[in-house]
Structure 1
Amino acid sequence: MASTVTEPRPGYGQLLRTPRAWTFLLPGFAARQPFAMLTISIVLLVQHTTGSYGVAGAVSAVTGVSMAVFAPFGGKLADRFGQRAVLLPGVLVHTASVVTLTVLALSDAPLWALFAAAVPAGASTPQIGPMVRARWGVKLQGSPLAQTAAAFESVTDELTFVLGPLVATALCTGVDPAAGLLAEAGLTLVGGLLFAAQKSTQPQPSAAGDDAHARVEHVSALRVPGVRVLIVTFLGIGTVFGGMQVSLAAFTESIGQPGLNGVLYGTFAAGNMLSGVACGAIAWKIAPQRRLVLGYAALTLMASGLWAAHSVPLLAGLGLLVGVCIAPALITGYTLVDSLVSPTARTEAFTWLTGAVALGQAAAVTVAGQLEDRFWDGAGFLVPLGGTALALTVLLTLRSRLTPKSSGRTVARGVGHRAPVTVD
């Protein structure tokens, strides 16, 4: 399916030697951990206080929907006025909202009160991943390292999804049901403020330039057809994350070993991470549009077997394979964004994709929670299958929109080292 070209792609070592990269990578890594801890911590805490996965999934879903709805607007504001201007109030609101939600859950507050607190908690979730990607975009524009950076960020995301659920589950099951959410709030506050302090590496706000020029150049990423196709694709990926979170928690609870939840989810995320490392080390000859279709088909195929797995080893093996198939789709999708949108809409485009994952995750958590409450143990695993199958249908139908419009010379092979746009 893929082979390397004569000139190997610049590696991770060269990428990490980019001047001043570590000044935003380290605080960014700390600040993005809470993103993977939030929904699973809500599920575990609310399920503990209410006894229902359906209620827990609904509260978590409200958080995810709010995140998906508001994240692109935050990305647009970050492009327009600067990341720091969005982050500083955002981390404060998020921290206060999560603490409030925790107190309400422990106080057996009515469901409407939990929903009311979940909305600002999700809406104010800092979009650190897209902001880091935007900083790489500024530093590496036109460089062969651009796709290596896309792979590196996906690996970082997946490492986050390995560590986040493991830490959250360990805290919720081994310390206190509320410990996961409180740790999430603390990491958001400290990591977010440290990241916001790195002013020298943030992209130049478009509002800082000439006003007339900004009005001409700043076009919403949502108006690009290819971005809309990628949003649907990432929605399907979100259903995998959400369906796995609830279904694995219900499965391990049903066999009397809730502590295995973090291990099984960590295995799934580890497959994702290892696959991301491999993808970043390969210089692909296959065009990214085709890679996305092939990778997504493999993801749908692997997800189709989850509902039939009834043992820990089998579920761990299938989860690992599902994780392996996710990273290529994520990396390729984020790479395509650079060729589809202008630099002035880059953060917004990334947050649309991140928000799509959150929205898909929220819908999956809700549906999977209802299936687990009403039907057999493991029924929630049908959600990743359904979500990826629907998204694959859309992707196959509209894949031609993922090819950027020609502006003179275009990239035909997917790895164009002399291309006029940053696709590498």
Structure 2
Amino acid sequence: MASTVTSTSSRPSRPSYGQLLRTRGAWTFLLPGFAARQPFAMLTISIVLLVRHTTGSYGAAGAVAAVTGVSMALFAPYSGRLADRHGQRAVLVPGVVLHALAGLSLTALALADAPLWALFAAAVPTGASVPQIGPMVRARWGVKLQGTPLMTTAAAFESVTDELTFVLGPLVATALCTAVDPAAGLVTEAALTLVGGLLFAARRGTQPAPVLDGHARVEHVSALRVPGVRVLIVTFLGIGSVFGGMQVSLTAFSESIGEPGLNGVLYGVFAAGNMLSGLVCGAIAWRAAPQRRLVVAYAGLALTASGLWTAHSVVILAGLGLLVGMCVAPALITGYTLVDSLVPTTARTEAFTWLTGAVALGQAAAVTAAGQLEDRLWDGAGFLVPMAGTALALATLVALRSRLSTRPRTRTVARGVGHRAQVAVD
């Protein structure tokens, strides 16, 4: 599918969000995409609140939510690969229907006081069928903006949108579960996923062309075969450790000082730093190579995360959380931007889902590890998880940064008449 950009043909030296949002056809997938991705941010907290209400156990609630998160992380790349091969609509329509049915089944089982194993069994398809709207939106930006300076701006815009989603989603879910009914959050999540996903899938004109098109069959190369993608996966696991470790440790810190309500404030400061730096990052015309920017941004993230466990006051912790958030966004944005140059268009959605899944997997592991440290060691020990996760990822990134360099696509593989598609070969 050819790239169509109306506002960037003059190649401006300084990108802007106004230029980005004036891209032809952008709003046709942005609005339904925002509606369709909102339920994902509601899912975990809705499960926790419902299962906690029906079982009386935070441990059981967290375990069911963790199964959902791990299932999503493991199955997301396969969903992305199918979307690349057959088109986003072909994957989304059955996927959102399955997710809605699985979510409603989990709700019914919880309300019926079903045994924990039954909740786990329902949590697997609920997580596995989570629609990968964020990666699909990023892939559509790639079609529109390929080779233009606005790719970084689009990555920043998506990062800020994701962060806004994860601020609004839990608030809506919590309000529904506490003010309406404990099951209202999960029921609403299922309904929004179904409606929003179908509306997004209906916008066929902006989706990337499927690898399987008509009578031609173009050889598909998995994004995981690209060395740079594997490096980025490790990098994004470290970012996931920040999200998971912060969630648990900020909650434990707030409770330890007798101010549980501060948890939302402290996490809000962290999220605000992420959003603000994301907006700034997308408005800059970068001259440095993205590989170098990623190393610098990640070094800053590891440095700021390493100081979290030393904070013993609300003010210091809020300040460090703000700095950590400001370093997260540039690392995320630059990583997503690199996908455009590392991965052939026939595997772009899959590549984005690998990165999104890596964040989710890192977050699930960090939640578990941080909770154990908080229970077994001292208050604030959970902050060691973001420190360790980012340090290990930074070491991997520095050692393997050469694999993030764009490699020439030297081989063309095509089957069928009149169809040629270049693929990256290791």
Q: TM above 0.5, one fold?
A: yes
Instruction: Summarize the Cα distance change of 1:269–1:324 in structure 2 as closer, same or farther, 3 Å threshold.
Output: same
SS in 1 for 2:212: helix
Q: Does 1:245 align with 2:250?
A: no
The answer to whether the 8 Å contact 2:157/2:282 transfers is yes
Q: CA RMSD in A?
A: 2.4
Residue of structure 2 in register with 1:293 after alignment: 295
More off after superposition, 221-230 vs 374-383: 374-383
User: Which of 197, 203, 212 is matched with 1:207 structurally?
Assistant: 212
Work out which of the residue numbers 314, 321, 324 in structure 1 matches 2:323: 321
Partner of 1:65: 70
Equivalenced residues, count: 402
Return the alpha-carbon distance in structure 2 between the equivalents of residues 204 and 80 of structure 1: 9
SS in 1 for 2:62: helix
Higher mean alpha-carbon deviation, 363-372 vs 321-330, is at 363-372
Kindly provide the amino acid, as one letter, of the partner of residue 290 in structure 1.
Answer: R
Unmatched 5+ stretches in structure 1: 1-5, 409-419
CA distance in 2, matches of 1:85, 1:372: 44
Relative to structure 1, is the Cα distance of residues 102 and 86 closer, same or farther in structure 2, using a 3 angstrom cutoff?
Answer: same
Q: Does the 8 Å contact 1:58/1:366 carry over to 2?
A: no
Q: Name the structure 2 match of 1:392.
A: 394
Amino acid at match of 2:196: G
Q: Secondary structure at the match of 2:141?
A: helix
State the 1:78 CA deviation.
Answer: 0.6
Where do residues 17-416 of structure 1 align in structure 2 (5 Å cutoff)? 17-50=22-55, 52-173=57-178, 175-212=180-217, 214-215=218-219, 218-255=220-257, 257-406=259-408
Change (3 A) 1:105 1:367: farther
Instruction: Give the Cα separation in 2 of the matches to 1:169 and 1:262.
Output: 12
C-alpha spacing 1:53/1:169, structure 2 compared with 1 (3 Å): same
Q: Which has the higher contact order (CA 8 A, sep 6+)?
A: 1
Q: Tell me how far 1:151 sits from its aligned partner.
A: 1.6
Which residue identity does 1:104 align to in structure 2? L
Question: What one-letter code is carried by the residue in structure 1 that aligns with 2:92?
Answer: L
Do 2:15 and 2:284's aligned partners in 1 also have CA atoms closer than 8 Å? no
Output the CA distance in 1 between the equivalents of 2:262 and 2:52. 17
Provide the C-alpha distance between the structure 1 equivalents of 2:378 and 2:13, rounded to a whole number of angstroms. Answer: 50
Deviations 1:169-190 (A, max 9, x none): 4444555544433332232122
Give me the whole-angstrom Cα distance separating, in 2, the residues matched to 1:88 and 1:255: 47
Which deviates more from structure 2 when the two are superposed, residues 161-170 or residues 264-273? Answer: 161-170
Q: Which amino acid aligns with 1:315?
A: L
- Paired AA for residue 98 in structure 2: V
* C-alpha deviation, 1:328, in angstroms: 0.3
TM-score, L = length of structure 2 = 0.87
- Partner Cα distance (1:253, 1:109) in 2: 31
1:374 and 1:37 mapped to 2: Cα distance?
Answer: 30
The answer (yes or no) to whether the contact 1:54–1:366 under 8 Å persists in 2 is no
Distance in 2 of aligned mates of 1:251 and 1:41? 23
Question: In structure 1, how many angstroms separate the alpha carbons of the residues matched to 2:297 and 2:59?
Answer: 32
- Contact 1:338 1:346 (8 Å CA) reproduced: yes
Q: Distance in 2 between matches of 1:84 and 1:189?
A: 13
Residue 371 of structure 1: how far off its partner (Å): 2.9
Unaligned 5+ segments in structure 2 are 1-10, 411-421
Structure 1: distance between partners of 2:113 and 2:312? 34
Cα distance between partner residues in 2 of 1:125 and 1:300: 30
Against the structure 1 CA distance between its residues 330 and 257, is the aligned structure 2 distance closer, same or farther, given a 3 Å change threshold? same
In 2, distance between residues paired with 1:304 and 1:169? 31
Query: What amino acid sits opposite 1:43 in the alignment?
Result: V
Which shifted more, 72-81 or 380-389?
380-389
Partners of 2:180 and 2:263 lie apart in 1 by 15
Question: Is the Cα contact below 8 Å between 1:31 and 1:191 reproduced in 2?
Answer: yes
Offset, 1:247? 2.7
How far does residue 38 in structure 1 lie from its aligned partner after superposition?
Answer: 2.0
- 1:110-135 per-position Cα deviation (integer Å, ceiling 9, x unaligned): 32222111111110001001101111
CA contact (8 A) 1:57 1:369 kept: no
Aligned mates of 2:267, 2:58 — CA distance in 1: 17
Q: Deviations over 1:238-293 (max 9, x none)?
A: 11112222333344455555444333323222211111100001111221111111
Q: Which moved more, 1:77-86 or 1:147-156?
A: 147-156
In 2, Cα distance between equivalents of 1:93 and 1:45 = 20
Query: What's the TM-score once normalised by structure 1's chain length?
Result: 0.88
- The 1:50/1:266 distance shift into structure 2, 3 A limit, reads farther
- 1:292 and 1:48, CA in 2 relative to 1: closer, same or farther beyond 3 A? farther
**In structure 2, what is the Cα distance between the partners aligned to 1:309 and 1:173?**
32
Q: How far has the Cα of 1:338 moved from its partner?
A: 0.5
Q: Which amino acid aligns with 1:101?
A: L
1:121-164 CA-partner distances (Å, limit 9, x unpaired): 11000100110111111112222222221221112112212222
Determine if contact 1:53/1:370 at 8 Å carries over to the other structure.
no
Q: Deviations over 1:302-342 (max 9, x none)?
A: 22222333444433322222111110001100010011010
Contact 1:163 1:266 in 2 (8 A): no
Code of the aligned partner of 1:206: V
Identify the residue that residue 19 of structure 2 maps to in structure 1.
14
Distance 1:77 1:259 in 2: 43
Please tell me the residue identity of whatever aligns with 2:240. Answer: G
